[in-house]
């Protein structure tokens, strides 16, 4: 018993301080992931039955709604295409970095780890589908989180509100940079190291800045809800509400960054950003 206790303690210390045990964790995770699939099965069944029993009326209504939404979207898409070209041309003129285009993979949320304080969700896609640790996850409304563990068939996502999560952001209005940290509360994030005199106000949209190369730039993250400036403190107390539907989404998107216009661009990049992109592509 003493030996096991010491071994356990050793494991806890190693696992919580280093990444040495990640292969072990991923292997065990592959073995236990069927449990999540089985636990989620009843919901798949009820959803399937619900679809079969849905009335013709409601299906027609839904179809109409989706059709009109599609029309709106394709109108926006046309604008978007021309804007993107214009943007690329302007960036080219300025000699700055080209934006990163991304492929996405749809994944379903099949479970949640039953641990208080942690915001870990289980996705039904794993290393078999090319998912990797550190991959960015978004949903229809904004940045969702990142992959922290990958089994063969399932993976674990830490949402942006997890206490140990942080994402580099900038204010869309004026490019003010900051870091949005999770608080463990799924309702708000906190901005770190914002000077008291900084130009930031409730209602400002925060988008991912792409610094550090982990998250692709330009995805909406949160909306500033409250700015507290206490002259006694070194930094402003800024709270923001995450945009992603963290506890309502059923499907999320795994982002695979891809560089649009390779050789020419990487030469222009500062060294550190090139490394980030290389790392993301591997």
In the complex, the residues that contact another protein under the rule CB under 8 A are 1, 4-5, 7-12, 14-16, 21, 24-25, 28-29, 31-32, 35-36, 38-40, 43, 46, 111-118, 120, 149, 156, 163-164, 184
Question: Residue 132 Cβ, how far from another protein at the closest point, in Å?
Answer: 18
Question: Residue 3 Cβ, how far from another protein at the closest point, in Å?
Answer: 9
Q: How many CB atoms lie within 10 A of CB 243?
A: 22
Residue 95 vs 116, nearer CB to another protein:
116
Question: Residue 27 Cβ, how far from another protein at the closest point, in Å?
Answer: 9
Residue 19 vs 281, nearer CB to another protein:
19
Measure the CA–CA gap between 48 and 79, rounded to whole angstroms: 37
Burial 5-18 (b: 16+ CB within 10 A, else e): eeeeeeeeeeeeee
Sign, CA torsion 189/190/194/196 = positive
Question: Residue 120 Cβ, how far from another protein at the closest point, in Å?
Answer: 5
Sign, CA torsion 115/118/121/127 = negative
Residue 36 vs 215, nearer CB to another protein:
36
Residue 181 vs 208, nearer CB to another protein:
181
End-to-end CA distance of the chain: 43
Question: Residue 121 Cβ, how far from another protein at the closest point, in Å?
Answer: 10
Backbone angles phi, psi at 280, to 5 degrees: -70, -30
- Please enumerate in sequence order all residues whose Cβ is within 8 A of that of 230, keeping only pairs 6 or more positions apart, or say none: 237
Residue 111 vs 210, nearer CB to another protein:
111
């Amino acid at each position: 018993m003493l030996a096991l206790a010491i071994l356990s303690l050793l494991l806890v210390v190693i696992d919580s301080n280093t990444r040495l045990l990640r292969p072990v964790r991923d292997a065990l995770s592959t073995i236990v992931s069927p449990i999540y699939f089985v636990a989620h099965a009843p919901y798949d069944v009820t959803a399937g039955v619900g679809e079969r029993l849905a009335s013709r009326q409601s299906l027609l209504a839904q179809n109409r709604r989706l059709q009109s939404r599609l029309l709106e979207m394709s109108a926006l898409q046309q604008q978007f295409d021309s804007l993107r070209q214009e943007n690329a041309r302007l960036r080219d003129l300025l000699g700055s970095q080209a934006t990163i285009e991304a492929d996405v993979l749809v994944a379903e949320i099949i479970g949640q780890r039953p641990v208080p304080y942690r915001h870990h969700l289980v996705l039904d896609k794993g290393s078999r589908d090319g998912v990797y640790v550190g991959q960015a996850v978004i949903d229809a409304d904004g940045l969702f989180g990142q992959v922290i563990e990958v089994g063969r068939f399932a993976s674990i996502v830490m949402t942006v509100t997890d206490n140990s999560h942080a994402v580099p952001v900038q204010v869309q209005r004026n490019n003010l940079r900051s870091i949005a940290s999770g608080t463990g509360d799924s309702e708000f994030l906190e901005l770190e190291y914002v000077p008291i005199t900084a130009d930031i106000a409730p209602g400002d949209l925060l988008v991912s800045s792409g610094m550090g190369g982990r998250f692709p730039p330009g995805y909406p993250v949160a909306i500033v809800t409250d700015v507290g400036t206490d002259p006694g403190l070194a930094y402003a107390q800024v709270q923001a509400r995450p945009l992603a539907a963290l506890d309502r989404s059923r499907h999320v998107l795994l982002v695979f960054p891809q560089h649009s216009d390779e050789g020419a661009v990487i030469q222009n990049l500062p060294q550190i950003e090139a490394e980030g992109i290389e790392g993301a592509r591997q």
